[in-house]
Amino acid sequence: MYKHTVNHTVFVFTSLAELMAKASPLRSGDQLAGLSAHSYQERVAAQMALADLSLRTFIEEPLIPYETDEVTRLIFDTHDAENFQRISHLTVGDFRNYLLENSTQKAALTAIQKAITPEMAAAVSKIMNIQDLILVSSKCEVVTRFRNTIGLKGHLSTRLQPNHPTDDMKGILASVVDGIYNGSGDAVIGINPATDNVATQIRLLNMLEDVRVRCLLPTQSCVLSHITNTILAIEQGAPVDLVFQSIGGTEKTNSSFGINLALIKEGYEAALSLGRGSIGNNVMYFETGQGSSLSANAHHGIDQQTLEARAYAVARAFDPLLVNTVVGFIGPEYLFDSKQIIRAGLEDHFCGKIMGLPMGCDVCYTNHAEADQDDMDILLTLLGTAGCNFIMGVPGADDIMLNYQSTSFHDALYARQLLGLRPAPEFEEWLLKMGIMNPQLQIVHSDASQKLMKMITS
Amino acid sequence: MEKDTWHLLSQYTHARIAMGRAGTSLPTHEILRFKMAHSLAKDAIQSEVDTSALTEALHAMEIHTIAVKSQVTDRNDYLRHPNKGRVLDLRSKKDIEASPRNKTDLCIIVADGLSANAVNLHVIPLLKSLLPQIKDLTLSPVVIAKYSRVALSDAIGELLNARMALILIGERPGLSSPNSMGAYLTYQPATGNTDEKRNCVSNIHPEGLGYEAAAAKLSYLLHQMLIRQISGVHLKDDHRDTHLI
């Protein structure tokens, strides 16, 4: 039991899960689950009680029992006890101060990545303001490699997302060309297929492979199918660069996605065995998002932000190239409006980064949420300052297959220009060579750039 | 402003490509075109089912109707509490109980969902294509449901003693399709059914899956459901997609 007294009023929290949930900034999903604080005071009292808690509490008291949940087992079995010595004496409140200290820089943050459990990351995020989340994230650097280098400080990459409602090859290719001409696609060229069909997946993979080989494009491709389909595609000899999967923070959530840790490992090993990465072996692409566990009726009375951080423990076990929090896709019953979406995006990026993950964000919303493109501009700009590894590049920010709005190729150009951020170095070199971009990072359409069009259309 | 030299690619997709740039940003007319599309989607979510027009049109087709409502109180409540949209309010339950409830093959439900405009536009033309193809089935009155989620069809179908429920519901609006309608079919509608027990035909609107094609698919699925006495993931949609040819 946890207590906090403010002006003679005693606030009581019967469990660690309840304390975490009530300390969580307001979320419609937590309200829907009946977990959120009943008043503003109760929320801050919970945050005060949480701030006084030793980080060791999270090692002593699992939120979901070790015996019943394989994600809990993963968290405990892979905890870096040695480096935890550096922070084990701290309370959650002290930990926030420590992260913000001028003397705490990249090396110190990198050293404790695996000593930070998801629950510790979530707890400290709950008592941090938006500027804290941004400042600490910006001190982290998580670099991953496959055919290029993603996540270096001062760089912002994009996933080119060329979806089409009927998986029409020419339609997808048209969006790919438009994206490349706008300097997009260095994180990955990744298609969400409209159909759940291995044959289509293989056709799409072959098409992307053809473009990459013809143009000597220093990037990787992915078709975002269920991992079992991708494993079948690998068995059938398809050119699979990255293995994709949506993941959640509890065993039950993952089982609702039709996966478990053993299956992810199978996909991971299958991709590694292909040895297709030219400069690195980060072969996994994971997507997450607050609210997925409640949606799957698998939340165990734990708030959605804490469960999201637990999903990062799953991702961390497989050295991913990219982890993408698809923050506003889930809808208003989980993240009601732009205020909730913006804060959630920054929390996810922060929690992932301090846990050592290559975090990107699908800055996005659905039309039934209280948000619009102005709100996406705000979140995009903040994530740019926070050092986000990658964002989405969707033609005109309008995904015509998934029916939601994300960020456009133009949005990425805006962020790069405003904040002086560059594409992945290998990709930048290629864009310069092709005459698509000039050394000032401006998009130019020189005669040289027409070469690409000829290569693709021939 | 700089135009893109690859407009010819626009013939292959209706994605927003080759839009040109003002500096690195989108040109003015593209920004405004996007905002208009977004405003259509926002307005669609706030739209209401035109119950009187639908009732009148259905009566003209000699179809009885019942108007009902879920436990949701307003649009905001609808968005925040999906569960309330799956349960009938007390009065609606009584209204259904007071209506003829002899056992039928099929109960059709018309629901606002996230775009009432979609059902206002597409329900009557779709039913005009569908009904002649399912003359062999007995029908319950058509239920027009406000603030409804898909699973409200379980509560309604169960009360009406129908062997199958077909709910026509406004889909989440996208920028390129603000008024798209979905159809969900359930064999033996019963409270507590989950999504794997349903078959879905989505994207029904003239620019997507047209009325004739949608009606043919629905008729096929309904007849298959009656023969095989199942619905959902175990009932594969083997009907030929003529609209794609």
Indicate whether A7 pLDDT > 90: no
Cβ(A276)–Cβ(A33) below 8 Å? no
pLDDT tens for each residue of A38-91: 999 999 999 999 999 999 999 999 999 999 999 999 999 999 999 999 999 999
Chain-chain contact of A336 with B114 (C-beta, under 8 angstroms): no
Decide: A375 and A338 in contact? Cβ < 8 Å.
Answer: yes
Whether the predicted pLDDT of A458 surpasses 70: no
DSSP assignment string, B139-184: BPPEEEEES--TTHHHHHHHHTTEEEEEEEEEPPP-SS-TT-EEEE
CATH 3.40.50.11240 domain locations along chain B? 51-244
pTM for the predicted model, two decimal places: 0.94
CATH 3.40.50.11240 for the B51-244 domain, yes or no: yes
Mean predicted lDDT score pLDDT of chain A: 96
What tokens appear for B135 in the block? 């003359």
Question: Any idea which residue has 């590049």 for tokens?
Answer: A393
List the single range of A46-60, A141-155, A439-453 with lowest mean pLDDT: A439-453
Question: CA dist B240 to A164, B166, B244, Å?
Answer: 21, 20, 9
Residues of B in contact with A415 (CB under 8 A): none
Provide mean pLDDT across the span A100-127: 98
What average pLDDT does range A99-127 have in this prediction?
A: 98
Phi, psi of B58 (to 5 degrees): -70, -40
The mean per-residue pLDDT over the stretch B57-81 comes to: 96
Q: Alpha-carbon distance B218 to B204, whole Å?
A: 11
pLDDT tens per residue, range A375-391: 999 999 999 999 999 99
**Nearest Cα to A19, choosing from A44, A50, A48?**
A50
At residue B160, what is the residue type?
Answer: L
Q: Do A31 and B24 touch (CB under 8 A)?
A: no
The pLDDT of residue A445? 76
Q: Pick the residue of B9, B31, B80 with the most A CBs within 10 A to test the interface with A by mutation.
A: B9
Q: For position B237, what pLDDT does the model report? A: 66
pLDDT value at position A450? Answer: 74
Interface size between A and B, measured as CB pairs under 8 A = 125
For chain A, give the percent of residues with pLDDT over 70: 98
CB within 8 Å: A395 and B34: no
Partner-chain contact B34 A443, CB within 8 Å? no
Q: Which of B6, B24, B175 sits opposite A398 (nearest CB)?
A: B175
Q: Looking at this protein, which amino acid is placed at residue A59?
A: I
pLDDT computed for residue A1 by the predictor: 86
Tokens of B173: 């609006």
CA separation for the pair B142, B110 (Å, rounded): 7
The shortest C-alpha distance from B121 to chain A (Å) reads 20
Non-local CB neighbours of A372 within 8 Å, separated by 6+ positions: A338, A365, B38
Confidence at residue A234, expressed as pLDDT on a 0 to 100 scale:
98
Closest listed residue to residue A55, CA positions, set A117, A138, A114, A145: A117
* Helix locations, A216-303, DSSP H: 227-235, 251-256, 261-274, 292-295
pLDDT by residue (tens digit) across B163-183? 999 999 999 999 988 899 999
CA distance A204 to A208: 6
Q: Distance (Å) from the C-alpha of residue B89 to the closest C-alpha of chain A?
A: 19
Short-list A320, A312, A413, CA closest to A354? A312
Greatest CA separation for chain A: 78
**Can you tell me the distance from the alpha carbon of A108 to that of A138, in angstroms, rounded to the nearest whole number?**
14
Q: With both helix axes pointing from N to C terminus, report the angle between A450-457 and A198-215 in degrees, rounded to the nearest 10.
A: 140
Inter-chain CB proximity A336 and B80 less than 8 Å = yes
Model confidence at A126: pLDDT above 80: yes
Q: How many residues belong to chain A?
A: 458
pLDDT of residue B240: 53
In DSSP terms, B164 is beta-bridged to B106, B187
Q: Average the pLDDT over A14-43 and give the result.
A: 97
Which percentage of chain B shows pLDDT scores above 70? Answer: 96
pLDDT tens digit string along B199-241?
999 999 998 899 999 999 999 999 999 999 999 877 876 665 4
Q: Which helix (H) or strand (E) holds A75?
A: helix A70-77
Lowest mean pLDDT across A424-428, A450-454, B42-46, B52-56: A450-454
At B53-63, the pLDDT tens digits run: 999 999 999 99
Collect all residues with Cβ–Cβ distance below 8 Å to B29 and sequence separation of at least 6. Answer: none
The CA distance from B128 to A340, in Å, is 44
Structure ipTM: 0.93
User: Does A400 contact B80 at a Cβ distance shorter than 8 Å?
Assistant: no
Q: Is residue A311 predicted with pLDDT exceeding 60?
A: yes
Higher pLDDT, A442 or B194: A442
Minimum Cα–Cα distance from A370: chain B residue: B42
Q: Rounded to an integer, what distance in angstroms lies between the CA atom of residue A285 and that of residue A281?
A: 12
Residues of B in contact with A28 (CB under 8 A): 80
Token pair for residue A63? 């939120």
> What is the token pair recorded at A385?
């300052």
Q: Provide the shortest C-alpha distance from residue B31 to chain A (in Å).
A: 9
- Across the interface, do B34 and A171 touch by the CB < 8 Å criterion? no
Q: How many helices (H) and strands (E) does chain A have?
A: 22, 14
Contact B16 A397 (CB under 8 A): yes
The structure tokens listed for A401 are: 């297959």
Supply the pLDDT for residue B6. Answer: 84
Contact B15, A164 (CB under 8 A): yes
Average pLDDT over residues A274-295: 97
**pLDDT at residue B7, rounded to an integer:** 83
Taking residue A113's Cβ as centre, other Cβ atoms within 10 Å add up to 18
